[in-house]
Amino acid sequence: MFFEPEIETASRDRIEALQLKRLRETVRRVYEHVPMYRGRLDEAGIGPDGIRSLDDLRRIPFTVKEDLRQNYPFGMFATPMRDVVRIHASSGTTGKPTVVGYTKEDLSTWSTCMARLITATGVGPDDIAQVAFGYGLFTGAFGLHYALEKVGCAVVPISAGNTEKQLMLMQDFGVTVLISTPSYAQYIAETAQKMGLVPGRDLKLRVGLFGGEACSDAMRQDIERRMGMIATQNYGLSEVVGPGISGECECQSGLHFNEDHFIPEVIDPDTGRVLPVGEKGELVLTALTKQALPILRYRTKDLTRLIPEPCACGRTHMRMEKVLGRIDDMLIIRGVNVFPSQIEEVLASVEEVGPNYEIVVTREGYLDRMQIKVELNDSSLLERFSHLEELENRIRQRIRTVLGLDVSVRLVEHQSLKRFEGKAKRVTDLRKL
């Protein structure tokens, strides 16, 4: 299924010609209307007339989140406030929030980008979609909501939380599509099991549209097994547009970019050097059609790689591998780089434990120590102390094999760790306290 087949299956020459045209327009827009960008471009020696090919993109300086904070609230807007019809913002838990604005045309572009990705998953007018993202300054719920309506779905805007009511409405309304973070989908699945609900019999869910956090292969498989549906991932971030930058199709073989609206690059996060297509590094994004808040070469801190080959679904736009982790989520333990997703993959291979875990990092003297708390699938195993010690050692050995690092493993009772209705918090780093 295609939402806009002509552009979704366009040739590489046509895509790149459109990107170059729109890149020139965007550079001119920010140069003329955003003082920060004008200063940066002048300093780099590249003005609006300096973009002659897509290769000139790498001459443009990077944009980082701190730039938005320093220009809080509206200093990076390229349109007058009278043209801005929507304002979103980050939570601002570590300082001033990052503020993003949208014109009417921006909102239309946003919903079209997301509508393409929704259609690619096989979701259409015959579906009933339940949005279990929080509605508010967070872009996720609104980004999916209007796009779902654009493709003809009936939308249930329940927001996050009240999980038993979520499941009641899924039953009563015959909901077929769930929109949430993958960790909340796992919690919904767990609650459904406690309520005695059986996928296929009591629940009609067939597709999950998940975003807002990384989703490992193990997490995806767990959701699909417990909920009886296909679990797809979509990618976005507020600073660039929100959800709608890229997303999986029914093939689940990489996330398709909307390349006529965004140019992806992958760079070495240490040097900033653009890496050859296919190498893993930090994703950098340029928004080509944003009016209120155009963004040039935004460093996302997300680690991935680009996939240039056309997909079996027939779409020709570049794809990205699912996010492997975030640079700012990476832990350095005794000189070893550790991503929570690596721990998650190991735990998924151990049938006695569930998907919920917590990584606790402490420092004793000058030595970092890591403990992994993980829930048992069956709390009765706690009474079998010899088996528990054997299981903890088995998990510890697997982690040592994968990471080359010795850690402590602590098995805890089933359902004893905190659940999350939004993004899951897997790491408690006590070294910073």
Half-sphere exposure of 124 (CA within 13 A, CB side): 8
Residues of the chain with CATH 3.40.50.12780: 1-327
Q: Sorting pLDDT into bands at 50, 70 and 90, what band is 141?
A: very high
Q: Backbone phi, then psi, for 335, in 5-degree steps?
A: 85, 0
pLDDT greater at residue 64 or residue 338: 64
- How do residues 103-140 score in pLDDT, each as one tens digit? 999 999 999 999 999 999 999 999 999 999 999 998 99
Contacts 24+ apart (CB under 8 A), 338-341: 338/370, 338/403, 338/405, 340/426, 340/427, 341/214, 341/216
- How do residues 248-273 score in pLDDT, each as one tens digit? 999 999 999 999 999 999 999 999 99
Q: Which CATH architecture has domain 1-327?
A: 3-Layer(aba) Sandwich (3.40)
Residues of the chain with CATH 3.30.300.30: 330-432
Q: Which CATH architecture has domain 330-432?
A: 2-Layer Sandwich (3.30)
- How do residues 73-103 score in pLDDT, each as one tens digit? 999 999 999 999 999 998 655 568 899 999 9
- How do residues 157-187 score in pLDDT, each as one tens digit? 999 999 999 999 999 999 999 999 998 999 9
State yes or no: pLDDT of 433 exceeds 70.
no
- Kindly state the tokens that stand for 295: 């963004």
How far CA 233 is from CA of 56, 205, 236, 333, 372, in Å, comes to 31, 16, 10, 30, 26
Q: Is the whole-model pTM more than 0.75?
A: yes
- How do residues 11-58 score in pLDDT, each as one tens digit? 999 999 999 999 999 999 999 999 999 999 999 999 999 999 999 999
Q: Within a 10 A sphere around the Cβ of 123, how many other Cβ atoms?
A: 26
